[in-house]
Structure 1
């Protein structure tokens, strides 16, 4: 069991990040029995940090984070920064919980075998992993690990994203990644790798259907043809913001499941109608502290990655400050074996286009100059380069 020393000592929870999720987590931790907030690692000047509960201590050095923590939650959303921090924290022997699917699908597999490294319940991937545990314990055989998406626009405008960012109180790049599909692609890549599922096609199938269960059955038919569980999503305006599993069950229980209002089968849809992000992270912290092990990570031998796709023609010399949430590239799931030279969108930070790229093209490593980083080194290690 992880603890702060004596069994009665509260667990010191260090946090990486000071954004929307991190602030919400810090507020949630202030009401948790047996936990206290440890240091908060930030790259911002202390005077620029607002919205923290009273008494929270911001630090600028990873060493201070490690010294004051028994467990660390990483939720910065910055792949390059998070990778370096996670490596140092895990080298010090501390368990790491993330709400950062971006880092999981880019460099997470490097950490999966080096200590306790897990995604948290609360965002869609962690909620799907928790729902799977419940489903399997009830005897269901999952066919589809599904995300529910209400809206998709591969090429939103800056004006549209600025409007929604202000309305929702989050950064424009975050809103853009939600809108153009990058976020759902990243989440479902993590789900596929972590739960041993495949994908039906590059970029996922994502059927559009206001009837969520009809969309789930369509994906289940594809899984049955593949003879393998799949990770995907349904574009279903009006459906709840949650996750679902489409699954089979022993036919001897068909009458029971019909009585329980699960339908006639043979495919049944288990629906979780919410994901509450920062409010749920504490469940995973307690899981780790009590010896419950990993909920979900990217696995040590991932099959799926999230490639960068050009949203527009890119000329040589074009600078891309950040790939995720940009207006020039978006993320799309690929099978690594089919696209070994693809550029993971999580690696694109301060990159420069090297040669002409057409709208819709998948970017290769030859198309970009990427700055040196530990994240890039780890990606090349994972690919055996």
Structure 2
């Protein structure tokens, strides 16, 4: 809610915006980008956070003539039931907010990150929550883990792996149609295909953000933005049993975790985006691990984020992609 106000205030003041907030982008990014474009300002995600690093890698791979089919995020931990209590020690050690670091651990953050990469590339997810496999080898080994024909049919997928190297980085798996170029990719030690692995072994957060600022202001170019209507969104799942009358706490809290889902499924099933879940009151008992729907909650009144969701659904209805 707060991020929506900040972005619209900046657009109203004719200011370019570098958004280091995947949660806002993954909830109402498409309509905010439409508003920014209409106002003649740049609204962009940033270099340095995983989505921006993935998009730079996508551009590099496309520039070589390959077609990206998997955009991946490398995580060290994934446990949907982590809470600010379990993460308090880690947060204190690094001077971080316990709710924020919990959103990293419980999968909410990676779901938002991969959702906005999907929306920027037109990709989708294989299934609710993505594949999210444990893989303790190198990401190069993942070239044999996917069905290329299935990836092609879907238009590519976003995903993540836990425990892989090089961490904490990102990877792109891509293919090439030209036999001669496949010969040279093999010569250059990328293997026989049909998938080839490219990766960036780090993301340097705020160190790289100035590149995005310069890119937006000097070149009127965005590092990361939706193509149009969303293909992937992030929906709220109960982290514990939620009795009727529960007022849902914030991201990375005790009540919910987020999972990536196809935007058309989110729309068809009236699923509750986790970006609007905070402050909602449950109207029935919700069992642990159930995906929440709008019918399960009462929304707080007068919120900007809810008005933007309605506008986004009307003007940019969810893109339908193959299941």
> What TM-score, normalized by structure 1, do the two folds share?
0.75
The alignment status of 1:345 with 2:274, answered yes or no, reads yes
Unaligned 5+ residue runs, structure 1? 1-79
Q: Contact 2:249–2:255 at 8 Å: present in 1 too?
A: no
Quick one: which of 328, 333, 337 aligns to 2:260?
333
The alignment status of 1:156 with 2:82, answered yes or no, reads yes
**Tell me, what secondary structure is at the counterpart of 1:350?**
coil
Q: Contact 1:109–1:300 at 8 Å: present in 2 too?
A: yes
Max Rg structure: 1
Q: Contact 1:189–1:304 at 8 Å: present in 2 too?
A: yes
Q: Contact 2:151–2:157 at 8 Å: present in 1 too?
A: no
Cα RMSD over matched residues? Answer: 1.8
The alignment status of 1:378 with 2:304, answered yes or no, reads no
The alignment status of 1:317 with 2:245, answered yes or no, reads yes
Quick one: which of 29, 33, 38 aligns to 1:112?
33
Cα separation, 2, equivalents of 1:251 and 1:167: 52
Unaligned 5+ residue runs, structure 2? 316-323
The alignment status of 1:196 with 2:126, answered yes or no, reads no
Kindly provide the CA deviation profile for residues 35-74 of structure 1, in whole angstroms up to 9, marking residues without a partner as x. xxxxxxxxxxxxxxxxxxxxxxxxxxxxxxxxxxxxxxxx
Q: Contact 2:69–2:173 at 8 Å: present in 1 too?
A: yes
Closer, same or farther in 2 for the Cα pair 1:202/1:234, shift >3 Å? same
Cα separation, 1, equivalents of 2:70 and 2:150: 7
Q: Contact 1:144–1:223 at 8 Å: present in 2 too?
A: no
The alignment status of 1:246 with 2:167, answered yes or no, reads no
Cα separation, 2, equivalents of 1:89 and 1:157: 33
Closer, same or farther in 2 for the Cα pair 1:235/1:220, shift >3 Å? farther
Cα separation, 1, equivalents of 2:263 and 2:196: 31
Corresponding residue number in structure 2 for 1:81: 2
Higher relative contact order structure (alpha carbons within 8 Å, sequence separation ≥ 6):
2
Cα separation, 2, equivalents of 1:367 and 1:357: 8
**Tell me, what secondary structure is at the counterpart of 1:93?**
coil
1:75-154 to structure 2, matched below 5 A, reads 80-114=1-35, 115=37, 116-154=42-80
Q: Contact 1:175–1:325 at 8 Å: present in 2 too?
A: yes
Q: Contact 2:239–2:288 at 8 Å: present in 1 too?
A: yes
The CA deviation at 1:227 is 4.6
Kindly provide the CA deviation profile for residues 198-253 of structure 1, in whole angstroms up to 9, marking residues without a partner as x. 11111111122112223353245474363521111122345420111001123212
Q: Contact 1:112–1:299 at 8 Å: present in 2 too?
A: no
Closer, same or farther in 2 for the Cα pair 1:366/1:143, shift >3 Å? same
The CA deviation at 1:153 is 0.8
1:1-385 to structure 2, matched below 5 A, reads 80-114=1-35, 115=37, 116-211=42-137, 212-219=139-146, 221=148, 223-224=150-151, 226-237=153-164, 239-249=166-176, 250-322=178-250, 324-340=251-267, 341-371=270-300, 372-384=302-314
Kindly provide the CA deviation profile for residues 260-280 of structure 1, in whole angstroms up to 9, marking residues without a partner as x. 222232211001001011000
Closer, same or farther in 2 for the Cα pair 1:225/1:256, shift >3 Å? closer
**Tell me, what secondary structure is at the counterpart of 2:14?**
coil
Cα separation, 2, equivalents of 1:243 and 1:175: 19
Q: Contact 2:83–2:253 at 8 Å: present in 1 too?
A: no
Cα separation, 2, equivalents of 1:327 and 1:82: 22
Count residues with an aligned counterpart: 305
The CA deviation at 1:159 is 3.5
**Tell me, what secondary structure is at the counterpart of 2:248?**
strand
More divergent stretch after superposition (308-317 vs 209-218): 209-218
Cα separation, 1, equivalents of 2:69 and 2:107: 22
Kindly provide the CA deviation profile for residues 73-117 of structure 1, in whole angstroms up to 9, marking residues without a partner as x. xxxxxxx11101111211222211111110001111112123221
The CA deviation at 1:168 is 2.5
